[in-house]
A and B are shown apart, each in its own frame.
Chain A
């Protein structure tokens, strides 16, 4: 006979995700969102990336956004707003 102990771990029911389709080969005429995490220097890195992209492509517009707080995911309302306005989003994680 086996003894029984209670499993201490929680679980979450997350369905396997899939990436958005890769629809373009370049960023000409596209709107690019740079989403800043609020971490120190994340703004500088993203700004530099924006400049580099603009050198390479005829980007239509760079949208600079900041999420409210780095410790949490971007609020869904902010994400939806950016998704409807931008073709691609570049975000950053780390310190």
Chain B
């Protein structure tokens, strides 16, 4: 977008073609350049995976608009609007903004409380929100549960997390009480066999807790399921994921350099919560696949090791996209303890598959069949000692159910993400309706 504007500023008439998935960021860029209503030619997204013939069709379709923007004589439409006035002076640097109803002295007090939490060793390294008794009661009342009720147990360390301790963690993480039922459901999900009882919260493998939210609560509480899926900017995602880590650090007492033996860990240990983009998924949502009603709100959680992008913007063949995903899941370093995966498929990849008749189950089956390495390769890495046919392809997963397939992210590029986990144990738990609402 900036390019067209730069040419305009240089006195050269220009037209910019934008795929519709980028219209919002294009508008933002034009505003930044001082062109609040910059006109451009919009084509359907995506373009990168089109065949040469399809590209020609797109070009024919968009040509009249391009000519119109350029103000060419034989354009069907009127010439482009003149550009807006020059931008306002830049506003770099800090400017004081007043916080209504809060005194400077009170702000200093808040700083002291935040420092107190640091001094006690109760934070994840970031500032926390103070958890007062009143607010903890408010959270417990909201879910209508006894503050002393145990919601999660780490038996081998003789630790439990009560509703009260979960509320404290949620408040410290920045949750509103409306988020608390999601935090509780995620904590309870890991009570399933092969959850908390594995001791994987302490593992050298450094796993975090991935939480996937499905159902109507996503929209109600503002969980992000689209652009910047794993990134910052969304309170519901950020605080629910962070509450789990604060439970592990404080209620369970699993702290780094002590019980937490992670060699590297992952930045996702700060927080790791996404929602499925059910609206742009061509398939049934994850929670429906796992036996819940469509209108139920559900978390699906598991231990997760890392977060690896898979890019294929060029191909429009389902098999090629799926092979790119399966190959990315088959790197040597994941052989030893990467026997489960969550494939977070971008809507563009998922829709490309579905348009050509692929079901979710067929996609999972195909990925599973191509997820692995030959015995010879694994022997070359020193990861395998056994004898046998060097050419034999060894699958890393036990079955297609060693995979979760979730559709999420922005529909603006041919991207997916694969998330390995030590073992394919995925836990789903319904999010209870608040009783004290």
Contact = CB atoms under 8 A, between A and B. Distances in A.
Interface stretch (A16-24, A55-63, A67-75, A84-92): A67-75
Contacts of B131: 5-6, 8
B157 interface: yes
A6 B169 contact: no
Chain A: number of interface residues, binned into ranges: 10 to 19
A72 B200 CA distance: 9
A58 to B, nearest CB: 34
A14 B161 CA distance: 17
A10 B200 CA distance: 19
A42 to B, nearest CB: 14
Determine the main DSSP class of A at the interface with B: loop
B175 to A, nearest CB: 13
B159 A72 contact: no
A95 B204 contact: yes
B166 to A, nearest CB: 10
B133 A14 contact: no
B132 A4 contact: yes
Contact of B168 (A4, A8, A12, A69): A8
A71 B157 contact: no
Contacts of A1: none
Contacts of A14: 158
Contacts of B246: 8
Contact of A72 (B117, B130, B165, B198): B198
Contacts, number: 56
Q: Tell me what chain B mostly uses at the interface: helix, strand, loop, or mixed.
A: helix
A3 interface: yes
A71 B198 contact: yes
A9 B169 contact: no
B199 A9 contact: no
Interface in A1-58: 3-10, 12-14
B407 interface: no
B202 A71 contact: yes
Interface residues of B, number: 32
A81 B200 CA distance: 26
B133 A10 contact: no
Interface stretch (B224-232, B247-255, B366-374): B247-255
Given A71-B200, A71-B203, A6 B136 contact: yes
B172 interface: yes
Given A4-B132, A4-B133, A73-B156, A9 B202 contact: no
Given A4-B133, A5-B113, A5-B131, A10 B253 contact: yes
Nearest to A93: B261
Nearest to B129: A5
B197 interface: yes
A90 to B, nearest CB: 21
A3 B106 CA distance: 13
Nearest to B155: A72
B250 A8 contact: yes
B133 A6 contact: yes
B164 interface: yes
A10 B203 contact: no
Contacts of A5: 113, 116-117, 130-132
Given A8-B165, A9-B253, A72 B122 contact: no
Q: Which 3 A-B pairs have the closest CB atoms?
A: A71-B199, A8-B250, A12-B158
16 contacts: A3-B113, A3-B130, A4-B132, A6-B164, A6-B168, A8-B122, A8-B172, A8-B250, A10-B159, A12-B158, A13-B158, A69-B198, A71-B198, A71-B203, A72-B198, A95-B204
Given A4-B132, A8-B250, 18 more contacts: A3-B130, A5-B117, A5-B132, A6-B132, A6-B133, A6-B168, A8-B169, A8-B172, A10-B159, A10-B161, A10-B253, A12-B157, A12-B159, A13-B158, A71-B198, A71-B203, A72-B197, A73-B156
Interface of A: 3-10, 12-14, 69, 71-73, 95
